[in-house]
Structure 1
Amino acid sequence: MSRDCENTVVVGCGAVSVDFLATVAAYPKPDDKIRSTSFKVQGGGNAGNALTCASRLGLKPRIISKVADDTQGREVLRELEADGVSQEGTSPFTYVIVDSQTKSRTCIHTPGYPPMKPVDLSESSLLTALNGAKIVYFDGRLHETALVVAHEAVKKNIPILMDAERLREGLDDLLKLADYVVCAAQFPQAWTEASTVPKALVCMLLRLSNIKFVIVTLGKDGCIMLERSFNEGPSTEEMDVDQLLESLEMRKNRRTHIPTCISSSVTKLHAEGIGTVFGKLYVGTAENVPPSELIDTTGAGDAFIGSILYAICANFTPEKMLCFAATVAASKCRAIGARTGLPYHTDPCLASFMN
């Protein structure tokens, strides 16, 4: 574990749940009756998974969420406590069908009721949760409570990382306060209506003036990151952002199975019809997990985000951060469920990053 992360507190606000994971030979057709080949009950939820990942990597997470005093709720708390995640605050659950044939998963989520509201979070609990925190993370759920937490974090100058998985109620208000954003593949274009992902990333930096970087995750195709530059030299070259991404893609090393990252220089990035920002574009590759080792992609994005939280706290360079997050996500995919395969900071696969 990096010395920069010793005793580092990270706070998350969002979803925790129970996942019921059934593995099947192939996804069922309508009216099919099939048998599962394996079954596992495990903690889930974006915030719960990401903070479990952060805890195993060496951070000290606290989570703000809500569960009921029922069997599922007690199991959620037990598992989080076992992984070192402390809590403030019908429980939500998800059926996950893992298709052995396509290596894909289908989720059927049942939200908890009633949902968490700001009145459920006392001022003393909020202040206790944020005390000493280095970063705060939101998964886009519980938006009313999340906004209260976010405003308090801004008052305390605690940076915010936002998970933009899909368009959600209240998400825009949270994005305006964020310092870092990690997006699912479809989000940037859905949110900006831009014609390409690179144009959408430029648009996001123009709309969200606080953002230092935005990352879009692309599954087995890796990720793209746009980092804002605050050193806008008069001689900085201007380049079309789509052409720049194309040139970086051509330089990717596709022959190595380990994650790699390449980047542009600081560039005046132009998105036609949108505008221009000064920034640096990065292309990260995913680890090439052999088919025989690829078990389940459930929670891979949460593992990526938990790794980004750690990397920010450890002051990793962007290149090291993206390779680290890809390595952790790949480790997760080698076991069923969102948490079983999450590595600890002592895992040999992370040795090169932790030294």
Structure 2
Amino acid sequence: MDGEFLIDGSRKTLFVGLVCVDILNLLPKYPKEDIGHRCIDYYKQRGGNASNSSTVFSLLGGNVEFFGTIADDTELSFIQRDFEKFGINFKNSIIKSNKTCPLSIVILSLESHTRTILHTNKDLPELTLHDFANSINLKSSEYGWIHFEGRDNAHEISSMLNYVNEFKKAHGVGIYTSLEAEKLRFAPYLDELDMWKLPDIMFVSKDFACEQGYTSMEQAVSIYHKKVKAGAVVICAWGDIGAAAMSDQSGLVTSPAFPPSEILDTCGAGDTFIGATLFALAKGQALQKAIMFGCKVAGSKCGVQGFQNLALLKDVFSQHQLSC
């Protein structure tokens, strides 16, 4: 299976989904209710699943673009500067006037190594097929991979995936697609719209699988693999256990987790796993090596605060890249 998803480095990987602003508060332990607490530290960063995965992909040296809706409010300049800082193309994103940027307040507990997310999205519209078809030029052949974050606009995501698949069939263009199923409210649409059979790779989170009654990553990928189209891959990261994947070619493959010596920030670990795994696959790595690389990079991410320490993350990622 080596090289099955290899794409030319000149072609971009497009991450489609949310960008928001995260305010992260680091505390010794999870706060008690109705009393004041002093934080050890706090920081602000660009967030959102697809946004975070695009950051990791870029840090690893990938050619990447983010596509989503962005509110034209006080956070717009921060988001634009941060995309530019990490070398992420966002030129085709849709700027929405008179809307509010989604905001996440994240509580990080050093004692329990948990991250609790309080997310607010007041009025920013989700992407539509019209947005995608009018902004992303598939005929340009600049895109080698398109990854979709599973969100509330499931009908539109289904339409976008079908649009890409129909274009590939009509023009004979090789564009790989992947879809992330992390949010539990996304689950009913996967069956209702038969979305399991649309992407080439389906990423499923531990929380998503557990909510549906699965008790291990091996069990989850084995059952989910029966739902996807022929030749497609299912990948499931299982936190501190590791990750599992399955395809017709490889069968069931697994990787252990690679935790850091000290866990500082697990926020974005799943997004990191996706970004790193896609990077490895796009470089021609076999499925088992790709998920192992994803686990290594995600583990390293948990040992640093946020994504803002660009130099440190580049060093950490490059070390794993050499052994990928």
Q: Give the TM-score taking structure 1 as reference length.
A: 0.76
- The residue aligned with 1:138 is 148
- The residue aligned with 2:9 is 6
8 Å Cα contact 1:165-1:183 kept in structure 2: yes
Structure-to-structure mapping, 1:123-272, within 5 angstroms: 123-127=133-137, 131-141=141-151, 142-157=153-168, 158-169=175-186, 170-172=189-191, 173=193, 174-191=195-212, 193=213, 197-210=217-230, 212-229=232-249
Structure-to-structure mapping, 1:245-324, within 5 angstroms: 280-291=251-262, 294-324=263-293
- The residue aligned with 2:116 is 106
Determine whether 1:50 maps to 2:60: no
Partner AA of 1:97 in structure 2: I
Instruction: Note closer, same or farther for the CA distance 1:178–1:56 as it changes in structure 2 (3 Å cut).
Output: same
Deviation readout 1:42-64 (Å, 9 max, x if unpaired): 01000000011111112221222
Q: How far off its partner does 1:215 sit?
A: 1.6
Partner AA of 1:33 in structure 2: G
Determine whether 1:343 maps to 2:313: yes
The counterpart of 1:115, out of the listed 112, 125, 133, is 125
8 Å Cα contact 1:130-1:153 kept in structure 2: no
8 Å Cα contact 2:56-2:272 kept in structure 1: yes
State the distance in 2 between where 1:137 and 1:122 align.
13
Deviation readout 1:182-234 (Å, 9 max, x if unpaired): 2111323544x5676544423222222245221211111111222223xxxxx
State the distance in 2 between where 1:197 and 1:213 align.
14
Instruction: Note closer, same or farther for the CA distance 1:120–1:153 as it changes in structure 2 (3 Å cut).
Output: closer
- The residue aligned with 1:268 is none
Instruction: Note closer, same or farther for the CA distance 1:305–1:166 as it changes in structure 2 (3 Å cut).
Output: same
Q: How far off its partner does 1:120 sit?
A: 6.3
Instruction: Note closer, same or farther for the CA distance 1:338–1:299 as it changes in structure 2 (3 Å cut).
Output: farther
- The residue aligned with 1:272 is none
Instruction: Say which is worse superposed, 320-329 or 201-210, in terms of deviation.
Output: 201-210
Q: How far off its partner does 1:7 sit?
A: 2.1
Aligned alpha-carbon RMSD (Å): 2.7
Q: How far off its partner does 1:346 sit?
A: 8.5
State the distance in 1 between where 2:124 and 2:140 align.
24
Instruction: Say which is worse superposed, 68-77 or 50-59, in terms of deviation.
Output: 68-77
Q: How far off its partner does 1:353 sit?
A: 3.6
- 5+ long unaligned stretches in structure 2: 95-99, 169-174
State the distance in 1 between where 2:123 and 2:287 align.
40
8 Å Cα contact 1:21-1:39 kept in structure 2: yes
Instruction: Note closer, same or farther for the CA distance 1:201–1:78 as it changes in structure 2 (3 Å cut).
Output: same
Instruction: Note closer, same or farther for the CA distance 1:319–1:72 as it changes in structure 2 (3 Å cut).
Output: same
The counterpart of 2:70, out of the listed 54, 60, 67, is 67
- The residue aligned with 1:259 is none
Partner AA of 2:271 in structure 1: D
- The residue aligned with 2:97 is none
- Structure having the higher Rg: 1
Determine whether 1:86 maps to 2:89: yes
SS in 1 for 2:313: coil
SS in 2 for 1:41: strand
Instruction: After the TM superposition, list the runs of 4 or more consecutive aligned residues in structure 1 that deviate by more than 6 angstroms.
Output: none
State the distance in 1 between where 2:44 and 2:209 align.
33
Instruction: Note closer, same or farther for the CA distance 1:130–1:311 as it changes in structure 2 (3 Å cut).
Output: farther
Instruction: Say which is worse superposed, 209-218 or 338-347, in terms of deviation.
Output: 338-347
State the distance in 1 between where 2:260 and 2:145 align.
31
The counterpart of 1:37, out of the listed 5, 29, 40, is 40
State the distance in 2 between where 1:128 and 1:43 align.
27
Q: Give the TM-score taking structure 2 as reference length.
A: 0.83
State the distance in 1 between where 2:83 and 2:225 align.
35
State the distance in 1 between where 2:243 and 2:127 align.
34
Q: How far off its partner does 1:143 sit?
A: 2.8
Partner AA of 1:202 in structure 2: S
Q: How far off its partner does 1:128 sit?
A: 5.8
8 Å Cα contact 2:26-2:42 kept in structure 1: yes
8 Å Cα contact 2:217-2:243 kept in structure 1: no
State the distance in 2 between where 1:346 and 1:4 align.
24
Instruction: Say which is worse superposed, 314-323 or 37-46, in terms of deviation.
Output: 314-323
